[in-house]
């Protein structure tokens, strides 16, 4: 009967409408929820410690490592990698790792032309390595992933310091585990001196007017470190506060007009832009591999993981000022800045000037003489495309040599990041010159000797590198992204330096070269 059909139609119509309305509201609620969640994530994603804490902990200064000089003139250091506990906050013990202590390591110091040997004992429960970041040395002494030190074993690399005065550092480099080993506290400074820098009127009293500033970001879960990486943090672990030399909320009393800060970004993923709240200019005197030709006045210095800068700050009597890290507008797009750490800001280190300051000599107008290649005699160019999935399209493989360079030659390397996220690029063994940044001459902070450079998405840099070291076809050096999470994932490649016409030898998976002794 037609009547029933019509009733049925009307009913199904109204049911259809009801379903539509319900569906519609579900979609609307979901959209609101997603929007709300997004807003919540977005507004909660940037971190700032600016003005939030009073800095009441006296800055720890890593002790200078003891050493002895053997008959043949070799300076010998002893390092022991060990697990322990560190009290960062009152009465709370954090499980940590360190060299000759529970967290970080002593500052090693040697002079140009000096022979050094470091006897490293691995007192950890697992294998690791110690790499000399920024050091020009034979590949088998480099401490990369091929020089593993088993638990209980000792490794004694030795070399002759053959480069200018600089602020270098050391840290583990076990393939796939570097972020964890460094994040647990294994890192230290290695300062090199030379005659030229010794003769310059620069602040140089260690711990007095010449301060090591090892900056790391951390997050605590109770007493323990929380190394968890949040979703959307594709650069790796980002902490919610910083410490310097292992001191939270640190201050340092200073008694000189000019204070030299040896800034080392030892964080695993975070990039900083250091400066001062009152916008005062400071003098940049050195970069990764040593002094600039002349001091450069600036208000900000950006450092990505692994990079160093030596700056000199002028203090006014009785003042307190904060070394601060500011938001970075060149870090990437809004998304990267927000979720990748570029919008974050931190109070890093408070400097408290005495009422009366010891007068400092003015900075010399000429500092170092650059020993980095200018690239004019380059015999070869190479390209490196940075992707999180691997450099030049392939992830790191321990037994594959990616590039072979000839000893005594200069090359230009063009490094490009179009991966949509920030990366950086570090090369072992050499200090290179930045020839171009996006086709333009480099800014002052990239004119000195460099071993690590920051490349936000869209950046291209052209570098000049010279391979002077001894040839060793069987042992590779590394080049990699120093965002350690990326490095561990495989954003790393291997190069060997060979004699002319020599070929790269086959690499054994993780053979350990160098002077190994088994200990207990
Ligand atoms: Cu600082 Cu290959 O490392
Ligand atoms: Cu290195
Ligand atoms: Cu990277």
In whole angstroms, give the CA distance from residue 294 to residue 284: 9
- pLDDT tens digits along 403-451: 999 999 999 999 999 999 999 999 999 999 999 999 999 999 999 999 9
Whether residue 16 is contained in a domain is answered as: no
State the pLDDT at residue 37: 82
User: Would you give the DSSP letter of residue 93?
Assistant: E
State the pLDDT at residue 380: 98
Ligand 1 touching residue 480 (CB < 6 A):
yes
Would you say 435 and 412 are in contact if contact means Cβ atoms under 8 Å apart? yes
429 — alpha (psi -120 to 50), left (phi > 0) or beta? Answer: left
Handedness of CA 142, 143, 147, 153 (dihedral sign): positive
Whether residue 462 is contained in a domain is answered as: yes
- pLDDT tens digits along 256-296: 999 999 999 999 999 999 999 999 999 999 999 999 999 99
- pLDDT tens digits along 189-232: 999 999 999 999 999 999 999 999 999 999 999 999 999 988 78
Return the H-helix or E-strand segment holding 39: helix 2-44
Atom of ligand 1 nearest to the CA of 428: 2
Whether residue 34 is contained in a domain is answered as: no
Residue nearest atom 1 in ligand 1 by C-alpha distance: 133
Closest CA to 331 of 425, 458, 236: 458
Min mean pLDDT across 38-42, 77-81, 334-338 is at: 38-42
In a 10 Å sphere around its CB, with 0-12 CB exposed, 13-18 middle and 19+ buried, how is residue 68 labelled? Answer: exposed
In a 10 Å sphere around its CB, with 0-12 CB exposed, 13-18 middle and 19+ buried, how is residue 27 labelled? Answer: exposed
Q: Are strands 210-218 and 220-221 parallel, antiparallel or unpaired?
A: unpaired
d(CA 391, ligand 1 centre) in Å = 16
Ligand 1 touching residue 173 (CB < 6 A):
yes
Residue nearest atom 3 in ligand 1 by C-alpha distance: 133
Please tell me the total count of domains within the chain.
Answer: 1
State the pLDDT at residue 357: 98
d(CA 142, ligand 2 centre) in Å = 8
Structural domain range at position 509:
380-517
Would you say 404 and 498 are in contact if contact means Cβ atoms under 8 Å apart? yes
Handedness of CA 120, 497, 430, 368 (dihedral sign): positive
Q: Token match 């470190």: residue?
A: 225
State the pLDDT at residue 43: 78
d(CA 488, ligand 3 centre) in Å = 10
Whether residue 495 is contained in a domain is answered as: yes
d(CA 387, ligand 3 centre) in Å = 7
Ligand 1 touching residue 116 (CB < 6 A):
no
Task: Check whether 106 has a pLDDT greater than 60.
Answer: yes
For range 39-68, the mean pLDDT: 93
In whole angstroms, give the CA distance from residue 404 to residue 502: 10
Whether residue 332 is contained in a domain is answered as: no
Whether residue 291 is contained in a domain is answered as: no
Ligand 1 touching residue 486 (CB < 6 A):
no
Task: Check whether 510 has a pLDDT greater than 50.
Answer: no
Whether residue 509 is contained in a domain is answered as: yes
For range 160-182, the mean pLDDT: 98
Whether residue 270 is contained in a domain is answered as: no
Mean pLDDT of the chain: 94
In whole angstroms, give the CA distance from residue 166 to residue 152: 32
State the pLDDT at residue 10: 65
Confidence of residue 519 (pLDDT cuts 50, 70, 90): very low
Residue 397, domain CATH? 2.60.40.420
User: Would you give the DSSP letter of residue 112?
Assistant: T
State the pLDDT at residue 35: 85
């Amino acid at each position: 009967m037609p009547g029933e059909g019509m009733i049925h139609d009307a009913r199904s119509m109204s049911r259809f409408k009801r379903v539509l309305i319900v569906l519609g509201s579900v979609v609307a609620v979901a959209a609101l929820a997603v929007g709300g969640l997004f807003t919540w994530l977005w507004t909660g994603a940037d971190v700032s410690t600016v003005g939030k804490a009073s800095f009441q902990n006296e800055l720890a200064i890593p002790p200078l490592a003891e050493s002895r000089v053997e008959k043949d003139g070799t300076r010998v250091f002893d390092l022991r990698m060990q697990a322990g506990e560190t009290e960062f906050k009152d009465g709370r013990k954090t499980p940590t790792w360190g060299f000759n202590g529970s967290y970080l390591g002593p500052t090693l110091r040697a002079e140009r032309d000096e022979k050094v040997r470091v006897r490293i004992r691995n007192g950890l429960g697992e294998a690791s390595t110690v790499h000399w970041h920024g050091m020009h040395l034979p590949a088998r002494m480099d401490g990369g992933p091929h020089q593993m030190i088993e638990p209980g074993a000792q490794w004694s690399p030795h070399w002759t310091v053959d480069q200018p005065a600089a602020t270098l550092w050391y840290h583990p480099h076990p393939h796939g585990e570097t972020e964890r080993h460094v994040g647990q506290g294994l890192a230290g400074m290695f300062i090199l001196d030379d005659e030229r820098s010794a003769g310059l009127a620069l602040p140089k009293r260690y711990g007095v007017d010449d301060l090591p500033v090892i900056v790391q970001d951390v997050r605590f879960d109770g007493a323990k470190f929380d190394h968890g990486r949040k979703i959307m943090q594709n650069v790796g672990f980002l902490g919610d506060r910083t410490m310097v030399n292992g001191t939270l909320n640190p201050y340092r009393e200073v008694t000189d007009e000019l204070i030299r800060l040896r800034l080392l970004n030892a964080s695993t993923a975070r990039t900083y832009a250091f400066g001062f709240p009152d916008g005062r200019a400071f003098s940049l005197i050195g970069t990764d591999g040593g002094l600039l030709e002349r001091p450069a006045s600036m208000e900000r210095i950006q450092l990505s993981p692994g990079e160093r800068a030596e700056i000199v700050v002028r203090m006014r009597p009785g003042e307190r000022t904060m070394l601060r890290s500011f938001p970075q507008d060149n870090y990437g797009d809004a998304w990267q800045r927000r979720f990748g750490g570029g919008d974050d800001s931190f109070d890093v280190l408070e400097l408290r000037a005495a009422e009366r300051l010891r007068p400092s000599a003015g900075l010399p107008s000429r500092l170092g003489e650059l020993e980095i290649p200018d690239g004019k005699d380059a015999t070869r160019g190479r390209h490196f495309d940075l992707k999180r999935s691997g450099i030049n399209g392939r992830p790191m493989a321990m037994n594959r040599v990616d590039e072979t360079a000839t000893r005594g030659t200069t090359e230009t390397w063009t490094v490009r990041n179009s991966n949509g996220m920030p990366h950086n690029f570090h090369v072992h063994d050499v200090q290179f010159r930045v020839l171009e940044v996006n086709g333009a001459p480099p800014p002052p902070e990239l004119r000195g000797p460099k071993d690590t450079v920051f490349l936000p998405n869209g950046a291209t840099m052209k570098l000049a590198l010279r391979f002077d070291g001894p040839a060793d076809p069987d042992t590779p050096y590394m080049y990699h992204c120093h965002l350690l999470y990326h490095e561990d994932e495989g954003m790393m490649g291997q190069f060997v330096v060979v004699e002319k016409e020599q070929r790269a030898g086959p690499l054994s998976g993780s053979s350990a070269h160098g002077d190994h002794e088994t200990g207990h």
